[in-house]
């Protein structure tokens, strides 16, 4: 895999993690049940953290190759 392909895949992963975050946040916000809201808020938070981890590594790698 060349560098550009790696960056493209990492960017896709960042986008997918953000979409998952939005989906779980929406489920939490519209669950109507406090127990489910807590569960889906936690899952949303985890997806957002995944996004941040990948994005940080993407930026580090991108900076090393520029």
Predicted confidence (pLDDT) per residue in 51-63, tens digit:
999 999 999 998 8
Question: Which residue carries 């489920």 as its tokens?
Answer: 27
Domain boundaries, the chain: 3-65
Give the number of C-alpha atoms closer than 13 A to the C-alpha of residue 25, restricted to the C-beta side: 11
Q: Which residue has the tokens 């985890």?
A: 46
Q: Specify the pTM.
A: 0.88
pLDDT along the chain (66 residues), means of 10: 94 98 98 97 99 96 77
Q: How far is CA 23 from CA 3, 35, 50, in A?
A: 30, 17, 14
Q: Which residues contact 18 (CB under 8 A, 6 or more apart)?
A: 47, 48, 51
């Amino acid at each position: 895999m060349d560098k550009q392909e790696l960056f493209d895949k990492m960017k896709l992963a960042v986008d997918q993690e953000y979409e998952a975050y939005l989906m779980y946040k929406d489920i939490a916000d519209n669950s109507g049940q406090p127990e489910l809201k807590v569960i889906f808020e936690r899952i949303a938070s985890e997806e957002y953290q995944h996004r941040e981890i990948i994005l940080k590594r993407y930026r580090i790698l991108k900076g090393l190759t520029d």
